[in-house]
Structure 1
Amino acid sequence: MAKSEETRSLIVTTAMRLFTENGYDRTTMRAIAAEAGVSVGNAYYYFSSKEQLIQGFYDEIARQHLATARPLLEDEPAFAARLRTVLLRWLDIAEPYHRFGTQFFVNAADPESPLSPFSDDSSAAREASIGLMREVVDGSDVKLDPELRAQLPELLWLYQMGVVLFWVHDRSTGTKRTRMLVERSVPLLARVAALSRLRIFRPVSREIVELIQDLAKRD
C-alpha cells in the first residue's frame, strides 16, 4: 500500500475508534490528528471535515471487505456458501465499529445526505460492493434466468444493506441475531434465485428485473 493510502487508512481507523469511544460530536479533527500522529493540516489534506471521514470509512470497509473476502471464495462454487461467506466477513470487519453504527443509520435515512450509501458521493464504495456480489454470482454454480443474472448483484447489495440496517439495531451479544439472519435467509435467497431458471417462474423474475430497472432510473 502506498504511503498516502496508509496515512489515509490510519486517519480513518483512528477517527472511527475515537468516534466509538468518545462520541461523534465530542471528537474533533485536532484530536483525530493527534491520536493518528499526523499534523492537523495533513488530516485536513485527506478529509476536509468529520463528515468526509465517514465516507472514508465506507471506502475503507469496502477495501478491507474485498481484500479479505475474495480469497475465501476461490475454492467454493456453491452460491449460498459464497454469499454467506461475504456477508459474515463484512460483519467481522465492521464489528469493532458496531457502537458507532447509529451514525450509519442517520446518514442512510437522509436521502439528501452525500453520506448516504445511495448517494453519488458513495458510488465508489457502492460499486465495489456490487462488484463483489457480481463475483459471488459469476463464480458460483447457480443456474439463473439470464436477465435476472445481470441484475442479481445489485439485488444482493440491497439485501446486504438490509442486513446492515438490522445490524445497526442489533443489541444481542456479538450481534448473534444478525448472524442468525444471514445463516437462515441466505439459503432461502439461494432457493428463490435457483427457481428463476424454471420457465414457470420466469415471468416473476422478469417482473423483478423490470422493477429494479425502473427504480434505478433518475428523473
Structure 2
Amino acid sequence: MVVRTTETRDKVVEVALRLFRDEGFQATTMRRIADEAGVSLGNAYYYFAGKDELVHELYVRIQREHRARALTVLVEGGSLADNLGAVLHSGLDVMAPYHAFGGSFIQLALPAKSSSSPFSEESSDARSMAVDLMRLTLIASKQKIPASLSDSLPTLLWMTYLGVTLHWVSDSSDDQARTRTLVDGLVPIVAKSVKLARLPVARGLVTDVAGLLTRMTSREGL
C-alpha cells in the first residue's frame, strides 16, 4: 500500500512538472494534472493542496539534481574559480528545461509566506542541501579561508547563486547565453574576494557581509 501511494504521488509530480515545462504554469490546472496522471481530482488534491505545492516539489528536485550533477564536476584541488564556475553552470543546466516557467516560479517564491521561497521553513532541507554544496566546493578547491568565515561563506556563495538565478529568469538571450557570460565573469571576482578575506584589511568587511546574510537566512531572521 505504501509503495502504491508513493508511486501515485511520484506520478502526479512527474506529470505536473512535464506540463509546467511544456505548456506553462498558468495553462496547467490540477484537473489536467489529475487526468494526465490517471487519478481522480480528489486523489491529486490528497497529495498536493494545489499547484503551489507542486512548484515547491520542483524546487526540491532541482536542488537534488543540481547537487548530484555538480559533485561529478568538482575537481579535487582545483581552483575555486574553476570549481565554482562548474557548479554554477551545472545548476543552469539543470534549470534549463524550465526557463519558460521561471517567471511564474519567481512570482510564487517572492511572497515571504510562500513555501516555494528559498528562505521558507518548508525549503529548509533544499536550502541546507544547496549551502552544503557550496561548502563542498570550497573544500574541493582547498581554498584557505579564515576560520571565522568557515560557516558563513558557503551561505554567501549560495546567495551569489541565487543572484545568478534571478538574472537567468529574465535572460531572453539564446540559451540564456548572457547568464553564462555573467557566471564566467563573476567567479574570478568571487575567488579573488575570498582570497582577500584572508587579509586583515578586508576580513572584517567580508565577515560582516557573510554574517548579515547568515542572519537573514536563519529561521530567526525570517
TM-score (norm 2): 0.87
* 1:111 alignment partner, SS class: coil
User: Whole-Å Cα distance in 1 between the matches of residues 76 and 7 of structure 2?
Assistant: 30
Offset from partner CA, 1:53-85 (integer Å, 9 cap, x none): 000001111111111111221545321111111
* 1:121 alignment partner, SS class: coil
Partner of 2:174: 173
| Residues 2-11 or 68-77, more deviating | 2-11
* 2:28 alignment partner, SS class: coil
Output the amino acid matched with 2:162. M
| Residues 40-49 or 147-156, more deviating | 40-49
Partner of 1:211: 212
User: Where does 1:108-147 land on structure 2 (aligned, <5 Å)?
Assistant: 108-147=109-148
Residue 79 of structure 1 contacts residue 137 of structure 1 at CA under 8 Å; is this kept in 2? yes
Could you list the structure 1 runs, at least 4 aligned residues long, displaced by more than 4 angstroms after superposition.
2-10, 37-42
Residue 9 of structure 1 contacts residue 60 of structure 1 at CA under 8 Å; is this kept in 2? no
Shift of 1:144: 1.4
Report % sequence identity.
41
Structure 1 residues 5 and 127, CA gap change in structure 2 (3 angstroms): farther
| Residues 4-13 or 23-32, more deviating | 4-13
Offset from partner CA, 1:112-165 (integer Å, 9 cap, x none): 322211111111211111111111112222121221222111111111111111
Structure 1 residues 12 and 76, CA gap change in structure 2 (3 angstroms): farther
CA RMSD of superposed structures (Å):
2.3
Residue 65 of structure 1 contacts residue 93 of structure 1 at CA under 8 Å; is this kept in 2? yes
Aligned residues: 218
* 1:77 alignment partner, SS class: coil
Unpaired runs of 5+ in structure 1? Answer: none
Unpaired runs of 5+ in structure 2? Answer: none
User: Whole-Å Cα distance in 2 between the matches of residues 165 and 61 of structure 1?
Assistant: 15
User: Whole-Å Cα distance in 2 between the matches of residues 47 and 104 of structure 1?
Assistant: 17
User: Whole-Å Cα distance in 1 between the matches of residues 81 and 187 of structure 2?
Assistant: 6
User: Whole-Å Cα distance in 2 between the matches of residues 138 and 6 of structure 1?
Assistant: 37
Residue 13 of structure 1 contacts residue 57 of structure 1 at CA under 8 Å; is this kept in 2? no
Output the amino acid matched with 1:203. G
User: Whole-Å Cα distance in 2 between the matches of residues 213 and 88 of structure 1?
Assistant: 24
Partner of 2:199: 198
